[in-house]
Chain A
C-alpha cells in the first residue's frame, strides 16, 4: 500500500525518558513534516524537511530532534519527556517545488498517541 506510516501507534512512557517515533512514506515525496495535535485537537506544525534538509523549525523545544536519514524517512526523537508532551504526533509528506511536480496538499500518517505519565 502506498502511504505514510508511523510506528509505534501508541507510546506510553514515564517522565524523563527518551523515546523515538518513526515515519516512512512510499509516495515518492521529497518533503516531510511533523505535526502535534493536542488534547483539544489543535494541530500545529513542528518541523519540515525537504530532501533531508531542515526547512521549518517552529519554536519547538530542543528536546525534540528530528532526523531524516533519507527523503523517505523522518524520525522524531524526544529527550527528557515531560507531561506536556502528551499528544498525538502526525507525520505528513508532500511533493515540493524542487521535484518539479508540486502537489500542494500534504498526506498524513495515522498518528502516534504519546502518553507521558
Chain B
C-alpha cells in the first residue's frame, strides 16, 4: 500500500537552531514530493516540492528539503528556526499515475524563544 510516514508527532527546537522534520514514503515509481504547513485554524500552505533534478529543493520562508531516493526520504530542513515557524507540517506524495496527494500524519513543530 502507498503510504507516507512522519515518525515524529512533535519536534521541539530553540529559536535560532537548525530544524529537521522527517518524512519517508512507500510509493512505487518516482513520485512527486511536497511539504505543506498548516497554521491553527487555517488551510494548508504549499512550502516546496520535488519533481525532478537537484535533490536539494528550496521553498518558502527559508525552508528546504532533501530528496534521498535510496532512503525514500524527503526531510524538511531550515538552518535557523523562528518562533513563527511553529505550526503543523505535512509531507505529501503524489504518485505519477494519479492527481491525488497522499499525506503523512503531520508533525507539530514547536520553536521556543
Contacts and interface: CB of A to CB of B under 8 A. Distances in A.
Interface of A: 4, 31, 33, 40-45, 48, 50, 55-56, 58, 90, 92, 94, 96, 104-111
Contacts of B5: none
Interface of B: 32, 34, 36, 38, 41-46, 49, 51, 88, 90, 94, 98-103, 105-106
Nearest to A113: B41
Contacts of A56: 98-100
Nearest 4 CB-CB pairings of A with B: A108-B43, A43-B103, A108-B44, A110-B43
B17 to A, nearest CB: 25
Given A43-B90, A111-B43, A106 B101 contact: yes
B101 A45 contact: yes
B105 A42 contact: yes
A4 B100 CA distance: 17
Contact of A105 (B41, B49, B102): B49
Contact of B100 (A42, A58, A104): A58
Contacts of A104: 32, 34, 49, 51, 94
A113 B4 CA distance: 25
A42 B3 CA distance: 13
